[in-house]
């Protein structure tokens, strides 16, 4: 199967880079602070219901530790996590 350059470009445009000050960070906190959900309870509920994917796998642990290089998918959002360089 051949993937077009336009498709690849659209995939990368949808991914947002998120810089964290230190690692690890709990998954639910990233969803909350990035504005994907309105509060921590909503984030925890979405995670528990299997609506969040981390590195291609459904993640149900709300306190899962997220590290630089991880990719989080939640609905239309796709986040690439990296540690902020000083």
pTM exceeding 0.85: no
| pLDDT at res. 27 | 96
- Domains identified in the chain and CATH numbers: 5-83 (3.10.290.10)
Query: Is the confidence at residue 3, as pLDDT, over 90?
Result: no
User: Cβ neighbours of residue 27 under 8 Å, at least 6 residues apart?
Assistant: 43, 47, 52, 54, 59, 61, 62, 63, 64, 65, 66, 72
Of the candidates 78, 84, 26, 23, the one whose C-alpha atom is nearest the C-alpha of residue 56 is 78
User: How does pLDDT run across 10-67, given as a tens digit for each residue?
Assistant: 555 578 899 999 999 999 999 999 999 999 999 999 999 999 999 999 999 988 999 9
Query: Is the confidence at residue 79, as pLDDT, over 70?
Result: yes
């Amino acid at each position: 199967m051949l993937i077009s350059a336009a498709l690849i470009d659209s995939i990368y445009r949808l991914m947002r880079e998120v810089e964290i000050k230190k690692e690890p960070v709990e998954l639910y906190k990233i969803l909350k602070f990035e504005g994907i959900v309105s509060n921590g309870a909503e984030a925890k509920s979405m995670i528990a219901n299997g609506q969040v994917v981390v590195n291609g796998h459904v993640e149900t642990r709300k306190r899962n530790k997220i590290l630089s290089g991880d990719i989080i998918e939640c609905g239309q959002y796709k986040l690439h996590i990296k540690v902020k360089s000083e």
